[in-house]
Structure 1
Amino acid sequence: MKTKLVSSLALVGVLAACADMDTINEVSAPRAGLDVVANRTQQAQAGTPAWHLNASEINAAESRALSKIQGKTVSSDTAVQVALLNNRGLQATYSDLGLSAADVWETAIGPVPSIGVSITGLAGDVTRTLEAALITALVEAATVKPRTKVAELRFEQAQLAAAGETIALAVETRRAWIEAVAAFEAAALIARTQNAADAASELATELGRTGALGVADQAREHAFNAELAAELADARLEAELAKGRLARLMGVSLGQARFYVPDALPGLPGQPRSSADIERLALENRVDLAAGRLELEAIAAEYRLTGQTRVFSDLEIALGAEIERDSGDTSVVPVIDFEIPLYDSSKLISRRGSLTYLKAANLLAEAAIGARTEARAAHMAVTGKHSVARHWRDTVLPLRRTIDEEALKSYNGMITSTFELLEDARDGLEAELGAAEAKRDYWLAETDVTAAIWGGSASAGSQKGDDE
């Protein structure tokens, strides 16, 4: 018995010493996995993430974030970089990444060859207890490599999840910046017309005192001015709320940081910056699809699935064929394969493994089809919104300017009154607000293209309520 015990203990020690030191060194780094997250984020042109591991690093990041925005007009790129630097929800996501790395580390080390025995019964009982402990230790040591492989795949999934949350936060922050700038631009347009309405209201009061303007006409001008005042107050409130949402995503409160956003959004580019092959880009780059592939590998490794039989595409699994009908015409769309490997699971002892794998395969197929749909919708939206915004800019606004110019000529020639001129100004305001809204919608659609190509939830990093 003594010889067997010594041999078994020696075997446990040898197996434990065979731990993969390269893997251990990789996952034991303080910020293990962040390089993959940073590469994905930079490829998506979403900025550079940062991971803070102690209170001093958190305080330093907060100070850096404030220095980038305090008393300054913040661009969209600056807003995104501050969010990636200072958003606490994102830092919590990186903690999950660290925990996944620790799981790999713990698994790769394997069992520690130590055995404690408490003699409370007969010698035979002690022997059986000791043998059971040794068998358990031997099994754990002998299965370190396959278990480490599964843990590594889960770690890769965690890296993709962290990258997805980082990209999603960048997208959400850019959207919040666009909405804030657009809100301030709308408020400025209304304020400009409000000034003219104030002057007209005062003029109506003076004319009323002289008897040149009736009570009904006076009331009409005062009502017009009051309506504009209400619209302006509402626009300014919405602008401040939008600014508060932006501040929250950047990890600051408006009471903590004083910053500004530009008065207006950038003008439209000549063409929308969206690729016609956006569907292919989505299938190649989306982090959720990459994580789904890793899920299949992890399940296959965990349940010892072997003997890959063939590769199906997501369309073969879920659709069989893809047909679009446009204006009554039926046309076959060129298929871009998103490959999903299927393994022979007929020899599995555990039916759970077979069903788990097939469930993951079907979910991945569904996600791939959803990615195709989102990508096409994003492309249609950005091109359509660009066309609409260009129509407002190139057709509607020039016509309104012509109307305003002619109205001013009539006023100067004393053909029309001040109030008729103001009514034209009100119509002109509606046109300018429509053009500004169309421009905002285009830039939001442009931002959504990034989410469609790279994936991730658009609500990442957000919390309920606004920090004021």
Structure 2
Amino acid sequence: MKAVVIIGTALLLSACAQTSIVQMASKERAGFDTVQAGASRAVGASPEWALSAGEIEALDRRVHGLVHKKTINADTAVQVAIMNNRGLQASFADLGLSSTDLWEVAMGPIPSVSVSVSGLAGDVTRALEALVMKSVLDAANQRPRTEIAQIRFQQAQLEALSETIALAIETRRAWIEAVGAFEKAALIAEAQNTADSASELASQLGRTGFMSKADQAREHALTAVLAAERSETRLEAQLAKERLIRLMGLFGSPTEVFVPDALPSLPSRPRASADIERLALANRVDLAVGKLELEAVAREYRLTGKTRMISDISLAAGLEAEGSDGSTEVNPALEVDFEIPLYDTGRLSSKRGQMNYLRAANSVAQRAIDARAEARMAYKSVTGRHAVARHWRDVVLPLRRTIDEESLKSYSGMITSTFELLEDARDGLEAQIGAAEAKRDYWLAETEVTAAIWGGAGGAGASGNEEDKE
């Protein structure tokens, strides 16, 4: 006769579950407050996480009210994107899955044991002893597993924040590029109107015999070139706007959005701090994720004590040297330091554990090196772009205006021909376009400063964007 013995141990194992962690992980939007607070600090906007059809519908109405038939600025575009982009919502779902994993680990194994009794009592006793021992071992490992799951959950929060920052940065870039393209198209359209008038005048003069066919052709050719350039620039502007609409999650929706015809004026000073390297090391999300990965590996392989701290420069460049007395000597750290904890890898019981740890340590060191370099490059770029744009605005454009005014006076006095006047106008247009592009490049460089300080350069919202640029 076969019988099944069910041994319930619910009370014993549930006592091991950490109540506060279970309660936190079981919340509907566990960890999302970290994402919202971080996004508010980094990009000045707060994401939303819709979890039901009703919430999605309410969010759609809110987005519609924010932008429908309105001319939006960059801040509004970013706010709508991080509320409405479906790729970002998928990243938030990954955060929800991570909180579920933490909840399951914190709750512990299923508190029951099933034993099939078909033989002697001694066999049953040995089977029960083995199963009880397994339950005891599971309970003993409960806390370490929960600690590792907590670290993974923290990483998931930071990764969701990184995706949010990446989408915000990419949306701001798209807005700048779209508005810059429309500004360029408007400048060409203005020049084309002048060229059209001159072309019509040339035709009339040709009919009266006062202008040769060659001169008429020159006038018409300039007008035709401007028309082609205007068409190309308008197409670029439309494509840039379509990309912006896609990032904002509005593609295919009835919501109609407008962008300004010109970018904001150049600020008096570049908006970047000279201590950008320190800000990057303090705020980069990818560096925080890397440190958590190092901690997770250390806990997984039971490394309990940090033997020392070492800078990213020392670790990545291999500048660490052992002294004669066995102590560790490290070259003087830079003024801005990013410390990485090192554990005693001699306690690792396997080569796999040692390699995982060394990979994590060197990866975070390289990320810190890259963050330093990106911060310095971003600062040099934004200050340099500001100087270039200011030169176009304060030096080149005033000179071109003087030339245009004098050309018009000469033309009015019949000293220069219509073609010469249009050539000067063409040069003036190129100067205006150069100034507009320099201003656009500055605003893009300012966006790169945010990316350098906070990271998140390649996230959900940015997927496919490189293809768009090619």
TM above 0.5, yes or no, is yes
Preserved CA contact (<8 Å) 2:312 2:339: yes
- Following superposition, the deviation at residue 115 of structure 1 comes to 2.0
Structure 1: tracts of 5 or more residues without a match: 322-331
1:390 aligned partner: 390
Q: Does 1:95 align with 2:88?
A: no
Q: 1:232 to 1:120 in 2, by over 3 A?
A: farther
2:135 aligned partner: 137
Letter of the aligned partner of 2:315 in structure 1? I
Q: Does 1:175 align with 2:173?
A: yes
Deviations 1:121-180 (A, max 9, x none): 666655554443333222212211110000000100111111111111111111100001
Deviations 1:329-388 (A, max 9, x none): xxx994311101111121222222222111100011000000000000000000000000
2:371 aligned partner: 371
Q: Report the 3-state secondary structure (helix = DSSP H, G, I; strand = E; otherwise coil) of the residue aligned with 1:44.
A: helix
Q: Does 1:197 align with 2:188?
A: no
1:233 aligned partner: 231
**% identical aligned pairs:** 62
Letter of the aligned partner of 2:146 in structure 1? T
Preserved CA contact (<8 Å) 1:194 1:228: yes
1:185 aligned partner: 183
d(CA) in 2 for partners of 1:122 and 1:166? 62
d(CA) in 1 for partners of 2:220 and 2:459? 44
d(CA) in 2 for partners of 1:122 and 1:89? 60
Q: 1:181 to 1:303 in 2, by over 3 A?
A: same
Letter of the aligned partner of 2:183 in structure 1? E
d(CA) in 2 for partners of 1:255 and 1:65? 11
1:87-166 residue pairs with structure 2 within 5 A? Answer: 87-119=85-117, 126-166=124-164
Q: Report the 3-state secondary structure (helix = DSSP H, G, I; strand = E; otherwise coil) of the residue aligned with 2:309.
A: strand
Preserved CA contact (<8 Å) 2:290 2:364: yes
2:58 aligned partner: 60
Q: Does 1:262 align with 2:280?
A: no
Preserved CA contact (<8 Å) 2:311 2:333: no
Letter of the aligned partner of 1:197 in structure 2? A
Q: 1:150 to 1:209 in 2, by over 3 A?
A: same
Q: 1:27 to 1:240 in 2, by over 3 A?
A: same
TM-score under structure 1 normalisation?
0.92
Structure 2: tracts of 5 or more residues without a match: 320-331
2:309 aligned partner: 311
Preserved CA contact (<8 Å) 1:16 1:111: no
Q: Report the 3-state secondary structure (helix = DSSP H, G, I; strand = E; otherwise coil) of the residue aligned with 1:311.
A: strand
40-49 or 435-444: which moved more?
A: 40-49
d(CA) in 2 for partners of 1:238 and 1:125? 79
2:348 aligned partner: 348
1:16 aligned partner: 14
Q: 1:140 to 1:232 in 2, by over 3 A?
A: same
112-121 or 375-384: which moved more?
A: 112-121
Q: 1:462 to 1:66 in 2, by over 3 A?
A: farther
Letter of the aligned partner of 1:454 in structure 2? W
Q: Report the 3-state secondary structure (helix = DSSP H, G, I; strand = E; otherwise coil) of the residue aligned with 1:47.
A: coil
Q: Report the 3-state secondary structure (helix = DSSP H, G, I; strand = E; otherwise coil) of the residue aligned with 2:366.
A: helix
Q: Report the 3-state secondary structure (helix = DSSP H, G, I; strand = E; otherwise coil) of the residue aligned with 1:117.
A: strand
2:417 aligned partner: 417
Count of equivalent residues: 452
1:417-456 residue pairs with structure 2 within 5 A? Answer: 417-456=417-456
Q: Report the 3-state secondary structure (helix = DSSP H, G, I; strand = E; otherwise coil) of the residue aligned with 2:155.
A: helix
109-118 or 449-458: which moved more?
A: 109-118
- Following superposition, the deviation at residue 319 of structure 1 comes to 2.2
Letter of the aligned partner of 1:419 in structure 2? F
**2:298 alignment partner, one of 290, 297, 300:** 300
- Following superposition, the deviation at residue 18 of structure 1 comes to 2.5
2:327 aligned partner: none
TM-score under structure 2 normalisation?
0.92
**1:39 alignment partner, one of 34, 37, 40:** 37
d(CA) in 2 for partners of 1:450 and 1:222? 47
Q: 1:111 to 1:254 in 2, by over 3 A?
A: closer
d(CA) in 2 for partners of 1:407 and 1:281? 51
86-95 or 134-143: which moved more?
A: 134-143
1:45-84 residue pairs with structure 2 within 5 A? Answer: 45-84=43-82
Deviations 1:10-61 (A, max 9, x none): 5x73233231111111111101111111111111133101111112211221
251-260 or 229-238: which moved more?
A: 251-260
d(CA) in 1 for partners of 2:59 and 2:253? 18
Deviations 1:412-433 (A, max 9, x none): 2221222221111111000000
Q: Report the 3-state secondary structure (helix = DSSP H, G, I; strand = E; otherwise coil) of the residue aligned with 2:269.
A: coil
